[in-house]
Amino acid sequence: MNSHALGASLARARIRPDDGRIMSSDPLLQHIRNVPDYPKKGILFRDITPLLGHAQGLRDACWRMAAPFESRPPELVAGIEARGFILGGVVAHLLGAGFIPIRKPGKLPSKSVSREYALEYGSGTLELHQDCVKKGQRVLLVDDLVATGGSAEAAVLLLRSLGAVVDAGSFLIDLPDLGGRKKLETLGLKFHALLSFPGEDRKSTRLNSSHEWISRMPSSA
């Protein structure tokens, strides 16, 4: 997509290309469904499937995720399984980049490398093919949501271990009070998110993403 077309789409969305803080009137919010008590009681799930099923909403979201990097596009976009595949694939297409799938364990058929990351209870693991990136290639990380930042941090470190230059990340939703943004910025990542939901900390019991979730202990505990 050329600069004119990208700029026009952003104008229709009524947002500046470099705007990472979205107001309550943001049109994307109407496509984010709040599901209480899922996957466990006391958790509020931010469901993006209505957005994925809305042609204009999905198009605008992906254009806006790609916009800050249009002037200096990456060679590759990396998306974290599973919703990062959907958003990342579209962003890669818009930026004229290739796509790297960052997968859960046991899903890659060839030689791979892996990295564990901490969850609230337990741990998770991400994997990459060893030959998915060449040394020095610039990679943009894309995912649907950042909360504690564990999975995104693992993805950045995994890509860098293979020689990739990962200096930016583009996300649909940020839960800033959970510290993920700060963690990624500490790694030197330029952080871009379309929607921000402040006030969602461990005490207020909120869901973050398909990779990480925060739950509240019972009040009697």
Q: Which tokens belong to 26?
A: 């943001």
Catalytic-labelled residue, pool 16, 21, 33, 120: 120
What's the one-letter identity of residue 137? Q
Task: Sort strands 44-47 and 76-80 into parallel, antiparallel or unpaired.
Answer: unpaired
Whole-number Å distance between alpha carbons of 183 and 9: 31
Determine whether 120 is an active site residue: yes
Catalytic-labelled residue, pool 83, 103, 115, 181: 83
> 187 CB contacts (<8 Å, ≥6 apart)?
153, 156, 157
Phi then psi for 167, rounded to 5 degrees?
A: -120, 5
Q: Is 89 helix (H, G, I), strand (E, B) or coil?
A: helix
Catalytic amino acids? 83, 120
